[in-house]
């Protein structure tokens, strides 16, 4: 599933409004608007907003949704900063089972799971924690799993220009569990392969083997 690159440098792409400082609402303003929206939601479901347990709920829920969507306030350049290093290695690097929490853009309920990211360096490596931060950058938004998978792969491809990138996401969608079709055990697996991971079956096999093995 190859898609065009998303360098996340402040332009609009893939339907996502990217972080652009002048566009960003202050956290305080966001908090106020969201709290008011959650107050309406609580009223609309027929609850009593004035009862003790719910008094602070609009604000708590607002803070939670701000956290769940914090990816809109970040960008790739700031995240990676100085953590690209010259290194004379061409062996595969794999970071697997990175926990991921996102929100399905159709129902705004969570989907969650794990992400495995591999790449074949070409004279440059990235700080390992930055791979997990890239997963956060794109997962903390309203998403579909396929786009999330592609965005992670494109980000690494654009930053490192490696010989190849592979990303596998395995997730459970609460919109298929708690509602709708109510399939509790189904998992969705999506992958994005770039460069040698796409063109060389041996590289792809090694990657998939390493994901399963450890
Ligand atoms: N491809 C893809 N589909 C998703 C993802 N998250 C949710 N969906 C699907 O988006 C679809 C939305 O379909 P609709 O028919 O408009 O919504 P709905 O009536 O709530 O659908 P049901 O979930 O079948 O009840 C559903 O089939 C969801 O399973 C995702 O990450 N990727
Ligand atoms: Zn959904």
Over the stretch 43-53, which tens digit does the pLDDT of each residue have?
999 999 999 99
Final residue before a domain boundary, out of 71, 106, 136? 71
**ipTM higher than the 0.90 cut:** yes
Angle, helices 145-160 vs 128-139, to 10°: value is 140
Q: Do 97 and 182 sit in the same domain of this protein?
A: yes
Cα dihedral 153, 159, 164, 169 in deg (nearest 10) = -20
What DSSP state is assigned to residue 26?
A: P
109 lines ligand 1 (CB under 6 A): no
Residue partners of 57: CB distance under 8 A and separation at least 6: 38, 42
Asked whether residue 190 is assigned to any structural domain, the reply reads yes
pLDDT at 213: 74
The catalytic residue among 43, 47, 106, 205 is 106
Q: Do 154 and 195 sit in the same domain of this protein?
A: yes
Asked whether residue 76 is assigned to any structural domain, the reply reads no
Q: Do 96 and 190 sit in the same domain of this protein?
A: yes
Asked whether residue 104 is assigned to any structural domain, the reply reads yes
Q: Do 190 and 159 sit in the same domain of this protein?
A: yes
Reference 78, options 2, 130, 140; nearest CA is: 130
176 lines ligand 1 (CB under 6 A): yes
pLDDT at 12: 41
Choice from 14, 15, 102, 106 to test ligand 1 binding pocket (greatest atom count within 8 A of CB)? 106
Q: Do 63 and 128 sit in the same domain of this protein?
A: no
Final residue before a domain boundary, out of 42, 71, 100? 71
Q: Do 39 and 94 sit in the same domain of this protein?
A: no
180 lines ligand 1 (CB under 6 A): yes
Range of the domain at 55: 21-71
Q: Do 67 and 144 sit in the same domain of this protein?
A: no
Tell me the whole-structure pTM to 2 decimals: 0.89
Question: In the structure encoding, which two tokens stand for residue 69, read together?
Answer: 């969507």
pLDDT at 27: 84
114 Cα to the center of ligand 2, angstroms: 17
Residue with tokens 């459970």: 172
Over the stretch 1-36, which tens digit does the pLDDT of each residue have?
333 334 454 444 444 555 555 555 688 899 999 999
* Whole-angstrom distance, CA of residue 33 vs CA of residue 6: 29
pLDDT at 94: 98
Q: Do 87 and 192 sit in the same domain of this protein?
A: yes
Provide the strand spans (E) within 34-120.
84-86, 93-104, 110-120
Q: Do 106 and 126 sit in the same domain of this protein?
A: yes
What is the CATH classification number for the domain harbouring 54? 1.10.286.10
155 lines ligand 1 (CB under 6 A): no
* Whole-angstrom distance, CA of residue 133 vs CA of residue 140: 10
Which parts of the chain register pLDDT below 70? 1-25, 214
Q: Do 131 and 158 sit in the same domain of this protein?
A: yes
Q: Do 121 and 160 sit in the same domain of this protein?
A: yes
Q: Do 135 and 55 sit in the same domain of this protein?
A: no
Asked whether residue 194 is assigned to any structural domain, the reply reads yes
Let me know how long the chain is: 214
Torsions phi, psi for 172 (to 5 deg) = -110, 130
Q: Domain tally for the chain?
A: 2
What is the pairing mode between strands 124-126 and 110-120? unpaired
């Amino acid at each position: 599933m190859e898609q065009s690159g998303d360098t996340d440098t402040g332009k609009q792409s893939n339907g996502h409004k990217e972080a652009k400082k002048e566009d960003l609402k202050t956290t305080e303003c966001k908090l106020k608007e969201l709290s008011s929206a959650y107050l309406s939601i609580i009223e609309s479901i027929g609850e009593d907003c004035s009862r003790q347990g719910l008094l602070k709920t609009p604000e708590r829920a607002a803070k939670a949704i701000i956290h769940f969507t914090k990816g809109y306030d970040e960008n790739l350049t700031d995240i990676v900063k100085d953590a690209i290093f010259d290194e004379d290695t061409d062996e595969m690097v794999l970071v697997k089972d990175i926990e991921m929490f996102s929100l399905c853009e159709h129902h705004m309920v969570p989907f969650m799971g794990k992400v495995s990211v591999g790449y074949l360096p070409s004279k440059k490596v990235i700080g390992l924690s930055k791979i997990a931060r890239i997963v956060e950058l794109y997962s903390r938004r309203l998403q579909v799993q396929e786009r999330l998978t592609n965005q992670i792969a494109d980000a690494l491809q654009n930053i490192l220009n490696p010989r190849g990138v592979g990303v596998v996401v395995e997730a459970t969608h609460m919109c298929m569990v708690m509602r709708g079709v109510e399939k509790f055990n189904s998992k969705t697996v999506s992958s994005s392969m770039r460069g040698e991971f796409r063109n060389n079956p041996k590289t792809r096999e090694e990657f998939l083997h390493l994901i399963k093995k450890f």
